[in-house]
Amino acid sequence: MTTPHSPTAETAIPAWHALPVDDALARHEVDASNGLTEEQAAARLLRHGPNQLREHPGRSALARFLSQLKEPLVLVLIGAGIVTSALGEWVDSSVIFGVVMVNAVIGYLQEGKAEAALAALARAIATEVTVLRGGRRRRMDAVHLVPGDVVWLSPGDKVPADLRIVSGKQLRTIEAALTGEAAPIDKHPEDLSADTPLADRRNMAYAGTTVVAGQGHGLVIATADATETGRISGLIAGAPEIATPLTKKMGEFAGLLLWVILCLAALTFVIGVLRGEAMADMLVAAVALAVGAIPEGLPAAMSITLAIGVSRMAKRRAIIRHLPAVEALGSTTVICSDKTGTLTENAMTVTELWAGGEAFTVEGQGYKPEGALSSDEPGPALREVLIAGALCNDSALSHENRQWQITGDPTEAALLVVARKAGMDEGTLRHLFPRRDELPFDSARQTMATLHDIEGQPTLYAKGAIEKILPACTRLLTAGGHELALDDGGRELIAAAAAGMAARGLRVLAMARRQVAAGSELTEQSLDTGLVFLGLAAMMDPPRKQAIAAVRTCHAAGIRVKMITGDHAETARAIAGQIGIVKDAAAAEVLTGRDLARLDDQALMTAAGQVNVFARVEPEQKLRLVRALQAQG
């Protein structure tokens, strides 16, 4: 009989996100207030192994060298070299084997460099985590985690394994590496329906993602290769090697050449014997003809040419593992690309502002505070929006090692960057207007508020979702800095501006303020009514300029570009339009992971050929899409 905590029982759970927290804890036989005992942890470590991805063993040096000799044309050369050696033609034999060795050494050295580079990329730095063991918190290497451990999460932590969230207070993670969604994800412990897609499982935290805000703890439900990241690693390792167009053509050419040479050599031998020549002499003549007809320099020339291509790609920071693969790039007809960090910057950036009834655009990308606002001199309303975004903010922006880096929520960091672009440094603002109290961001409230002394007057600044901020506002700050009563017309104007931003794939935050009585403390009721609406800040993970040019070049070369991302459909559609993957973003068809799950193989092949944007797609579905395209040639 299977024990409750055996591998079979644990892996039989269809959906941890669908289980209530108590049930998940019970299945792992653990108490959330005490965690596992050291004895339980040791036994499970023996059963499940260390919490690290299994390194898929590469080929040995000998196997890598011998693989260079498997090409059909090289095999023909080896055969010719053996025959010439048997006939005592040592010069010819030496030349043939010399060419074979040069070809093999070039390929061996190049693949060795690529393997070493990939191994360096895969080598992970050890991560320390806070674990509850025997009722006490302790720091330990994440490699010793086991299913059933209770792990505490804080801002800046890298999630060490797949976790079922047990509790969370304003807990938010960045899951771009797994799902492609650049914006932080709010986490909570409530159970979800079993069919919830991976990217929408708010009660799970996955290995390799990062905590950017809040506190919480989670139950380890999978480690090492059993995690979602481990499954992706397994899919990649299990992908079959596909012959490149060059290797296919060379195989066909070598086969044809071999038969032609053998036929000519046999014909030469037969004709010579029929004419009365000695059979031994005609055998030597036939072999000489065969050896002379083989293009000994072709394999070496091909290897050298491919090695030059690989070297050029390496200068562009692209690693090519096998030499023939570099030629396959020139035969590409379809490119499937992720979005976040590939087509986009993977850095939230404020691109539009709205204040006092006016819209403003912002130049620049990423976290570098360079780029101008469309207003040379921000008016009172725009200044208040920028000040609110910088003060009602827990993130930090720093310049280290000649790079701009952020600490905290990327959405909040984007607000600091746009304030700096307008000449407002958050450090100076925080010194002039010190924080006296705060209401941290809450996923249910969808709002954050801070209290500051502004020229001796306690002032509340709030930022959050427009559907939460706008109903609590009774007045509007005009472009000139005056407060007017907010009527229905004003609310419709603000809602229309926000809707327009959202339709362009932007994430919209609303800003508001309110003066409060001296000595007051912030409470939930402080945000219920009486706020002054300041304006809107709209941001996105912007497309890379290089990506736009690359897509244009691909289309000019007849190559189709398809976006396959885990991000939301509207965001994917907007980015695809800006980059040029689709001409009309509003009319572009977008298929989601749910849509793909309902398609059989034939329908998927049709969809893969016709549709250029796929969103909310899980890793297995990405592989299925690529195979559907390969099946069509």
C-alpha 617/C-alpha 340 separation (Å) is 13
Q: What does the alpha-carbon distance between residue 175 and residue 205 come to, in Å, rounded to a whole number?
A: 9
Distance CA 617, CA 623 (A): 10
DSSP letter string, 146-195: -TT-EEEE-TTPBP-SEEEEEEEEEEEEE-HHHH---S-EE-------TT
With contact defined as beta carbons under 8 Å apart, do 166 and 21 qualify?
Answer: yes
**Which residues, 6+ apart, have CB-to-CB distance to 474 below 8 Å?**
485, 486, 529, 530, 531, 532
Please report the sign of the dihedral spanned by the C-alpha atoms of residue 141, residue 147, residue 151, residue 153: positive
Helix (H, G, I), strand (E, B) or coil at 4: coil
Catalytic residue among 141, 200, 225, 338: 338
Q: Whole-angstrom Cα distance, residue 159 to residue 153?
A: 8
20 closest CA partner among 189, 216, 250 = 189
Strands 447-454 and 435-442: antiparallel
Please name the residues in contact with 138: beta carbons below 8 A apart, sequence gap of 6 or more: 130, 131
Question: How many angstroms separate the CA atoms of 259 and 76, rounded?
Answer: 11
Amino acid of residue 388 = A
**What's the DSSP call for residue 36?**
B
Active site residue 191: no
What is the SS3 assignment for 242?
A: coil
- Of 173, 148, 203, 223, residue with least CA distance to 16: 203
For tokens 């402080």, the residue is 526
Q: Give the max Cα distance, the chain.
A: 121
| Catalytic site positions | 338
